[in-house]
Amino acid sequence: MPNSTGTSTDSPFDEICKSLRHEFPALSAARRESRQTERKIRDSVAHIRISPDIGLVVFGSLARLEWTSGSDVDWTLLVDGPSDPEHFALAREVERSLKETGFSPVGATGTFGSMASSFDLIHYIGGIEDSNQNMTRRILLLLESVSLSDTVVHERVLRGILKRYIQTDPAVSTATAPQFRVPLFLLNDIVRLWRTIAVDYATKKWQMPSTKWALRNIKLRMSRKLLFVKGLLMCFSCQLRPPAIEEQNEEIVLDQIVSHCLNYTQKSALDVLCEMLIQVNDDRLAIKLLQAYDDFLSCLNDKKKRKHLQDLDFSRAASDELFQEVRQISYNFRDGMNELFFDHELLRPLTRNFGLF
């Protein structure tokens, strides 16, 4: 992974693999494929001139560095400036270029559609204007998004959203001595998204009982859970790994928290987890969690298995060997997460204080 000075450094995932002397082939392959796919997409849209007020942003498995053979490209034009009717034509041009390069169109959920405006994402947090879709867009932008064009718009919107959460959150600082603490406003919205995803899973299963339910189920238990974990660790990190406070001006400390959280938004969920696993220094637990995720991605990348899960009827799930196998993988992952958050002394107090009540 290139760092800011252009030299190469190991990602937390690379670092932990070396430290454990253990390989996770499906994870490594997915990360490699993600970077290659990202390059292909960049090339396919490179001819499109995008104005400084617009960012081309991708979400989902590509942003999580979990690209597998069945992945599709979730993307949006993020507009952070004056609205222009021509934005629609620009979105169609991006879509056409992606199709010509052989990528599947926008994910079926259409969470992002082809355009999103920064205004709603920044100004409508909570309250009646904050729809399920707006909240999902906002948190996914924070937790799993990557800019494929110039990064300035993407980063500006991320900072704007983070500032909204942090500047009004009294848990971040006190009047007498500014401190980094868990930002509760942000944490609550991340918890809200996790619970919303779980509820929406049940809704989709009710509305479309025989379509893809098993795939959605396993993704909920694995990749969606990991996304939630990233959000939790981002919030906990404000207290666990705060940058040094040299400045006593509270407003500037708030800006530093925005930058601190922004740094987390730009790491993959797996890398954020690996950083924490390095910090808790528990090799057995690290292998347990990463092996479970490796098994999950290996299954998703197997076209036959993926198709089997995609077509599996709910009534046959209890006796289906593959489904029971992936379910066991998800149990291993869940148990590992429970250990990490409830048993390790580093995270236990934070989980106890902020995890539920």
Partner 1 sequence: MRIGFSTGALALSDFQVGLAMNQAAGLNAVELSALRETEVAGLLAAIDGMPLQRLDFVSFHAPSSLQRISDKELIQQLQPIFDRGWPVIVHPDIIRDFDIWASLGSRILLENMDQRKPIGRNARELRQLFVRLPEAGLCFDIAHARQVDPTMSIAVEILTEFSDRLAELHISEVDSGSRHVAISQLAMKSYQRISSLIPEHVPVIIESMICEADIPGEVEVVRASLRRLVPSAVGT
What's the burial of 315, exposed, middle or buried (CB within 10 Å: 0-12/13-18/19+)? exposed
- Determine how many CB atoms are found less than 10 A away from the CB of residue 43: 11
Q: Name the residue nearer to partner 1 (CB basis): 82 or 102.
A: 82
For residue 178, the minimal CB distance to partner 1 (Å) is 13
Q: Name the residue nearer to partner 1 (CB basis): 82 or 127.
A: 82
What's the number of CA atoms in the CB half-sphere (13 Å) around residue 290? Answer: 29
For residue 74, the minimal CB distance to partner 1 (Å) is 25
Q: Name the residue nearer to partner 1 (CB basis): 153 or 350.
A: 153
Helix (H/G/I), strand (E/B), else coil: 58: strand
- Determine how many CB atoms are found less than 10 A away from the CB of residue 348: 14
Q: Name the residue nearer to partner 1 (CB basis): 53 or 200.
A: 53
Phi–psi pair at 76, nearest 5 degrees = -150, 155
For residue 97, the minimal CB distance to partner 1 (Å) is 21
Tell me the CA distances in angstroms from 313 to 302, 306, 316, 320, one per residue in order. Answer: 19, 14, 6, 10
CA distance 304 to 53: 43
Tell me the CA distances in angstroms from 56 to 84, 105, 195, 255, 284, one per residue in order. Answer: 16, 15, 28, 25, 40
For residue 301, the minimal CB distance to partner 1 (Å) is 33
For residue 9, the minimal CB distance to partner 1 (Å) is 14
Positions in the binding site for partner 1 (CB under 8 A): 4-6, 52-53, 81-82, 150, 152-153, 155-156, 159-160, 162-163, 246-247, 249, 251-252, 255-256, 258-259, 262
| Contact by Cβ (8 Å): 300, 35 | no
Q: Name the residue nearer to partner 1 (CB basis): 114 or 167.
A: 167
Q: Name the residue nearer to partner 1 (CB basis): 4 or 207.
A: 4
For residue 3, the minimal CB distance to partner 1 (Å) is 9
